[in-house]
Amino acid sequence: MRFTKLRLAGFKSFVDPTELMIEPGLTGVVGPNGCGKSNLVEALKWVMGETSAKQMRGSAMDDVIFGGSSNRPARNFAEVVLHLDNKSRVAPSMFNDAEDLEVVRKIERDSGSNYKVNGKEVRAKDVQLLFADAASGSRSTALVSQGKIGQVISAKPSDRRVLLEEAAGITGLHSRRHEAELRLRGAENNLSRLDDILITLEGQLQSLKKQARQATRYRNLSDHIRKAEALLFHIRWTQSIDGLEVDRDKLKEAESIVAQLTARVAAATSSQAGVADVVPNLRNQESAAAAELQRITLARDGLDGEVKRIEDARLDRVHRLEQVSHDIARERNLSEDATQASSRLASEKTEIEGAQDGEEETIAVAQSKLAEATADVNALEDNHTQLTDKLTRDESERASLSRSVQDLETRIDRLSHRLRELNDQRKHFERTAAETSGLNDAEAILSAAQDAIAGAREHLESTEHTAAASQDASEAANQHLQDVRVALSRLEAEEQALAKVLETGEPEMWPPMIDAVSVEAGFEAALGAALGEELDASSDDAAPVHWTRLDPFADAPALPAGARPLSDVTQAPAALARRLSQIGVVDDVSTGERLAPSLKQGQRLVSREGALWRWDGYTITEGAQTAAAVRLEQLNRLKDVRGQLDGALNLVDQADARALNAREGAEDARDAERAARQALREREAAYNQARDQVAAIRTQIAEQNSKLEAVVAAIETVEHDINEAREQCVESQTSLAELPNTELAREEVMRVREELANKRTVQVERQGIFAGLKRNAEERARRLADIERELSSWRERSEGALQRISDLDERTVQIRAELEELAKRPEEIKQKREQLLDLIDAAEAKRQSAADQLASAEAQLSEADKGLREAESGLALARETRVRIEGAVEQGKQACASIAERVKEKLDCGPDDLAAIAEHEDDTPLPDLPSVERKVERLLRERDSMGPVNLRAEDESNEMEEQIEMLKTERGDLIEAIEKLRRGINELNREGRERLLTSFREVDKHFQELFVRLFGGGQAHLKLIEADDPLESGLEILASPPGKRMQVLSLLSGGEQALTATALLFAVFMTNPAPICVLDEVDAPLDDANVDRFCTLLEEIAAAGTTRFMIITHHRMTMARMDRLFGVTMSERGVSQLVSVNLEEAEKIRE
């Protein structure tokens, strides 16, 4: 399978449709940081089934959709399409029909993603298995993203095992095994729950059987209670009917009394109405007179209030007149203050304008003097700076030369001491170089360790084959045990079912005769046809239908020749002896038809098939099944099953013993395998130790030679440095002697510094004079502006005061006019008051006359009301009596209805049927009510003492038995499925273990070769640690770069770690090549020499196989070695674009 093209649309920064051709050889992807190169790798991982948003550098999977930029709106979906070449037909069966596969993954915002292969929707799991079987996938080792090298370096040994699993191609195997293990655990949990359910149901079944017997007794008690309650309700119904008739007679008498009293109330009401008609008119007249009097009185009171209001208004106008006078005086004062302030401000303005004359000339003179002083200071400062710089340079040079001479002398002493030490080291290395030995002995031990490993591996393979055979034998024994257990379960189920069918019922019933009869196999139909339902009768004389034991016939007639008695093949109680002796059995139907006419009275003939011929001509043809025949067959089958159960139990015990022996044998074989594997690890450890020893000796020799060479080179370097330091020391001493004296220059600097201080004092004084003159001029200008504003404000105040004085004069005239008008009103009010007093006297006389007439009429009305109330009171008492009696009648009706309702509710009948239910005769006197109530209570207590009763217990018992049988069948199927899953998992483990060990050896071989090529020497190898089982072991990396000892990966330098991890990843890749290999900035931590080796290795791998490489890089050397380049740019902010250059074609064009 080959990857040919990747197409993106709306994926992260690739908003526009973009195609990346994946062609043979090396394809490079370049571009600045942040332009979206890694988005191509993530698109490839995403379309291959990546489900983790974190692996996509996002918080949710919707983050892979283009989120918009300053110029582009956000998209609602993203799509990635990967084209595959399947001409080799290596895809899974569901995809293997097509030569070209198009894998599409599309995601819509807030709706999730879906997968399609050649337009057909598939599951994510199907896509993941498609790429896993092709040694690829979203988490494949062939996709080396940024940080993947670091993950391999920092990973635990157990986590590195994933690399071996990918190399062995068992990633898909692992997923299938994991799925099988999940199913196995689920099945085992289901089996455990099923066993618990069966135990629970069997306990419930026994309880239901007890409940069925209790339900029978409950029904009997319920019948007695029904009769007693019917009698109780009959007594209560009779008593209620009698009481209701008495209450109805009382009601008729009460209604007659109410009618008489109603007539008396009507007469009193008529008399009272005549008097009441006169009273309203009199009341209206009295009210009108009182209202007129009240009106006139209020008018008089209103005049009194008007006088007070006029006085209050006059006082208010006087107060307002005084207030206006005060306001006029205040405004006149304000006007005078404004005139005075304006005069004062005008004088101050004149003074300030006089002071401004000549101020510009004074300021100009002061500024000129300040400029002269500043020029003098600047000139002196420049001179002082030049002198100071020259003095500093001379003194610094002198100090530098002195320090240089001192440092050189110190360095010469130090180098001389170092030269002596190096000469001593050279003598020591030359003396000890010849003393190193033991390399040949260590190499001999290493060779012996290799031979021991080969022997241990052969022994391990032998024990593995033995263990596999033992495991197969154990599985076969377990399967046989399971088969015999299933057979035993079936026999037990059949035995229980037959026993259930043949149960005789409850212990208190009479057992039927058929349970005491047994017949030879094959004669069940004959016996059933001969006796039929008569076998259901009991042999107990107390039973209503039973068989009576009689002595045998003294002169019984003989059966026809050719027929033998049925008693010869039947074992039955003596009560059936007479009957069985007169029933003959024939071999076939033709014989029966031939002998039937010869039968004597009472005789019968039957065949094995169930045909019957009776002496009177009654005939039953063969094939007609009878219940008795079926029951007899079931009885015989029950005996056979119980006989087979013993044999089945023996077979189970034997199979269990064989399975135990097989398991013990398999365990012994596994122990031997573990011991052999342990021995192999020990041999490998000894080999590794010997190899480390040889490497250590070689490293020691190389180190000593390297150190000797380094010491000789160091001696030469130190001698050269000593000579060079001595020459530099002589030159520095000469330069120091030639430097001029600095004392005169220092005195000149001090003189200039004093003169500069004097000039700066003059400059500060003139600066103060100039600033004071300028500040006074600015203050005078500000004050003139303030005076103008104040003058304008005072003018506005004066004008406002004059206007307000004019308004107040007008208000004074208005108030005085109002006072004159108020002085005229009191005389008018006095005249109106005298007129109202005359009208009040007349109105009081009229109201008194109307009140006297009304009092007389109301007295008459009171007498009429009293008579009416007495009549109505008598009528109310009579009506209350009638209502009370009506209530008693209604209560009697309700009591009857309540009894009828309770009868309907409890007994489901009417009151007329109670006597029949209670079995009470009409001419028999009724018992007393308390005795019947006590009987009902006693029966209810007796029934309640039984507690809760399940009336459906028998039906539930039958349903539960069916459920138990169904669950037992399911349990057998579940056990069989568990065994199959266990065998499958064991097979997957065995295959995975073999493939993992094979791949480990291949990866180790490739890793050692690649390490030497990438480092230009050294040694390295891989090691399985932490567990005996390869499937659970960890992968440790041991490396020895040139000139260093063997050590674990974490102890190497950063560049060595990166190069070693790269060698491991390529070793895995070479063991199980993938269709595509993506390397995202893997060369970043490598120097130029290692990058060159890395690129050479890539070219060799690409040329040797069919894998297509895509390398994302920033390194110029890597770019130069690519066959083609794709550039990722971001000409528009947030939007990536792809451009391509084919370097091979460009090279051809250039040539």
The answer to whether 467 and 666 are in contact (CB under 8 A) is: yes
Q: How many CA atoms lie within 13 A of 818 on its CB side?
A: 17
For the chain, the distance separating the N- and C-terminal CA atoms, rounded to the nearest angstrom, is 34
Higher-pLDDT residue of 1028 and 25 is 25
Q: What is the mean pLDDT of residues 433-462?
A: 75
The answer to whether 42 and 35 are in contact (CB under 8 A) is: no
Q: Is 1142 helix (H, G, I), strand (E, B) or coil?
A: strand
**Is 50 exceeded by the pLDDT of residue 92?**
yes
**Is 70 exceeded by the pLDDT of residue 681?**
yes
The DSSP annotation for 479-491 comes to HHHHHHHHHHHHH
**Is 70 exceeded by the pLDDT of residue 886?**
yes
**Is 90 exceeded by the pLDDT of residue 961?**
no
Give the C-alpha separation, 635 to 644, whole Å: 14
Q: If pLDDT is split at 50, 70 and 90, which confidence band does 666 have? A: confident
| Residues 40-71 pLDDT 10s | 889 999 999 888 888 888 888 889 999 888 88
CA distance to 346, 355, 360, per residue, from 786 (Å): 12, 17, 22
One-letter amino acid of 1149: I
- The token duo for 1014 is 């990438």
CA max distance for the chain: 185
What is the sign of the dihedral through the CA atoms of 58, 64, 70 and 73? negative
pLDDT score of 107: 92
- Residue 1113, φ and ψ in degrees, nearest 5: -150, 160
**Is 90 exceeded by the pLDDT of residue 735?**
no
Q: Is 324 helix (H, G, I), strand (E, B) or coil?
A: helix
Higher-pLDDT residue of 630 and 189 is 189
- The token duo for 237 is 């119904």
Q: If pLDDT is split at 50, 70 and 90, which confidence band does 541 have? A: low
Q: Please calculate the CA angle 980-981-983 and round it to the nearest 5 degrees.
A: 65
Candidate ranges 130-139, 215-224, 1109-1118; pick with highest mean pLDDT: 1109-1118
pLDDT score of 174: 65
Helical segments of 71-170, H only: 124-132, 148-154, 157-168
Q: What is the mean pLDDT of the chain?
A: 79
Candidate ranges 367-376, 844-853, 923-932; pick with highest mean pLDDT: 367-376
- The token duo for 601 is 């009275």
- The token duo for 1123 is 């066959």
Q: What is the mean pLDDT of residues 955-977?
A: 82
pLDDT score of 606: 86
Please report, in range form, the residues annotated as the binding site: 32-39
Q: What is the mean pLDDT of residues 833-850?
A: 74
The answer to whether 517 and 532 are in contact (CB under 8 A) is: no
Give the C-alpha separation, 308 to 822, whole Å: 12
Torsion from C-alpha of 1079, 1085, 1090, 1093, nearest 10 degrees: 0
Q: Which of the 8 DSSP states describes residue 551?
A: P
| Residues 501-519 pLDDT 10s | 555 443 345 667 766 777 7
One-letter amino acid of 596: A
Please report, in range form, the residues annotated as the binding site for ATP: 32-39
Q: Which of 16, 7, 27 is nearest to 1107 (CA)?
A: 27
Torsion from C-alpha of 541, 543, 545, 551, nearest 10 degrees: -10
Q: Above pLDDT 70, what percent of the chain? A: 90
Q: If pLDDT is split at 50, 70 and 90, which confidence band does 313 have? A: confident
How do beta strands 583-586 and 570-571 pair?
unpaired
Neighbours of 1064 (CB within 10 A): 27
Candidate ranges 309-318, 546-555, 652-661, 792-801; pick with highest mean pLDDT: 652-661
Q: Which of 1123, 1052, 1047, 1040 is nearest to 1085 (CA)?
A: 1052
The DSSP annotation for 770-818 comes to HHHHHHHHHHHHHHHHHHHHHHHHHHHHHHHHHHHHHHHHHHHHHHHHH
Within its chain, how far is the Cα of 915 from the centroid? 70
| Rg of the Cα atoms in the chain | 65
- 4, containing H or E segment: strand 2-9
Residues with Cβ within 8 Å of residue 596, at least 6 apart in sequence: 605, 613, 619
pLDDT score of 182: 81
Give the C-alpha separation, 845 to 564, whole Å: 148
Q: What is the mean pLDDT of residues 437-450?
A: 76
**Is 90 exceeded by the pLDDT of residue 81?**
yes
- Residue 75, φ and ψ in degrees, nearest 5: -100, 160
User: Any idea which of 424-433, 1053-1062, 1142-1151 has the lowest mean pLDDT?
Assistant: 1142-1151
pLDDT score of 346: 79
User: Any idea which of 736-745, 839-848, 933-942, 1014-1023 has the lowest mean pLDDT?
Assistant: 736-745
| Residues 463-508 pLDDT 10s | 878 877 887 787 788 778 777 777 777 777 777 766 665 554 433 4
- Residue 29, φ and ψ in degrees, nearest 5: -125, 120
pLDDT score of 505: 42
pLDDT score of 29: 92
- The token duo for 78 is 């993203």
Neighbours of 822 (CB within 10 A): 17
pLDDT score of 102: 92
Q: What is the mean pLDDT of residues 370-392?
A: 80
User: Any idea which of 31-40, 344-353, 599-608, 665-674 has the lowest mean pLDDT?
Assistant: 344-353
Q: Which of 1105, 1139, 1100 is nearest to 1121 (CA)?
A: 1100
| Residues 134-175 pLDDT 10s | 778 877 778 887 677 777 777 887 777 777 777 776 766 666
Using CB atoms within 10 A of its CB, is residue 440 exposed (0-12), middle (13-18) or buried (19+)? exposed
**Residue with the two structure tokens 């510094």:** 753
Higher-pLDDT residue of 1012 and 165 is 1012
pLDDT score of 79: 94
Candidate ranges 116-125, 286-295, 357-366, 660-669; pick with highest mean pLDDT: 116-125
